[in-house]
Amino acid sequence: MHLVYPRRETSFGIKPAVDVYWYDGGLQPEKPEGWEEAQKYRPESWNPGLSLNHQGGGVIFHGEDDTLVCGCYGADPWLLSGRVPNLPQTERRVESNNHQMDWVRASKESSDSRVETKSNFAESGPFNEMVVMGVLAVRLQGLNKKLKWDGENMQFTNINPDETLTMITKMDPTPGSFSRERTEPFNALEFAEGLIRTNYREGWSLPDMPA
C-alpha cells in the first residue's frame, strides 16, 4: 500500500510530503542501503539474521541524514550509521506505554484542566486512516487491481458501479485441496462504501466523515 501525506503546516513549520509504504502478508521492502554493513550497530535484543522483522514487524524511516530502523510498535530503534543521538526529552511519556490507561485518566479529568492523551483523536484519527486502508485493501483484493483512494472525500475513485465481488465462506482443510465455497456476487462499490461509512441505529449516529 502506498499512502501520501501531503505537504503541511505544523507548529514546527512547513513539512514536506511524506510517502508511506506498507507491506503485509509476509512481503518485505527492499533492505535500505548499507543494511548489511550496519549489522554491527544492531541492538543485541534485535532478531539474529538480516530480516527486517523484529517482534512481529518492522519500520524503516528514510531521513535526509540517516536511516532509522525499529521493530513492531517502535521496538528497539537504531540508526544505520551507528550514531546514538543525545536528545532532550521534550514530550510527556506514557507510563509503561499504556495508552489505554492514559485515555482512562484523561476521561476522568475535568475538561478545564485535562491533560490531553498522547494519542488523542486529533492525531490518532488521521493516522488510523492509513491502518484501515490496509484492511480495506485486503477486503477488496478480489477486484484484482490497484485501488485509488481520495482521502479528502473518503472514497475510492476507480471502483466501477457495476463491479462485483465474492467472498469465501468455506475452505476444504484437506492438504492439497483448493476447494472453496463462495457467496453469490455482490456489488463491490456498495460493499466498499459500507466498510467506510457505517449506518448506525437511531440515536447512535456520528458526524459525517470527513469531519
Beta strands 155-156 and 149-150: pairing type? antiparallel
Whether the CB-CB separation of 118 and 104 falls below 8 Å is answered with no
DSSP-derived 3-state class of residue 211: coil
DSSP-derived 3-state class of residue 189: helix
Q: For residues 177 and 59, what is the distance between their CA atoms, to the nearest angstrom?
A: 36
Residue 31: CA count within 13 A, CB half-sphere: 13
Give the predicted TM-score (pTM) of the model: 0.77
pLDDT tens for the chain, 211 residues long, are 898 888 988 888 999 999 999 988 788 899 999 999 999 999 988 888 888 899 999 999 999 999 999 999 899 999 999 999 998 988 888 887 788 999 999 999 999 999 999 888 888 887 888 888 888 998 999 999 999 999 889 899 999 999 999 999 999 989 888 888 999 999 999 999 999 988 788 888 877 765 5
Q: For residues 207 and 174, what is the distance between their CA atoms, to the nearest angstrom?
A: 47
- Tell me which DSSP letter residue 162 carries: T
- The label of the residue with cell 522483522 reads 53
CA distances from 89 to 34, 86, 123, 186 (A): 29, 10, 20, 53
Our CA dihedral for 148, 151, 157, 158, rounded to 10 degrees, sits at 20
DSSP-derived 3-state class of residue 18: strand
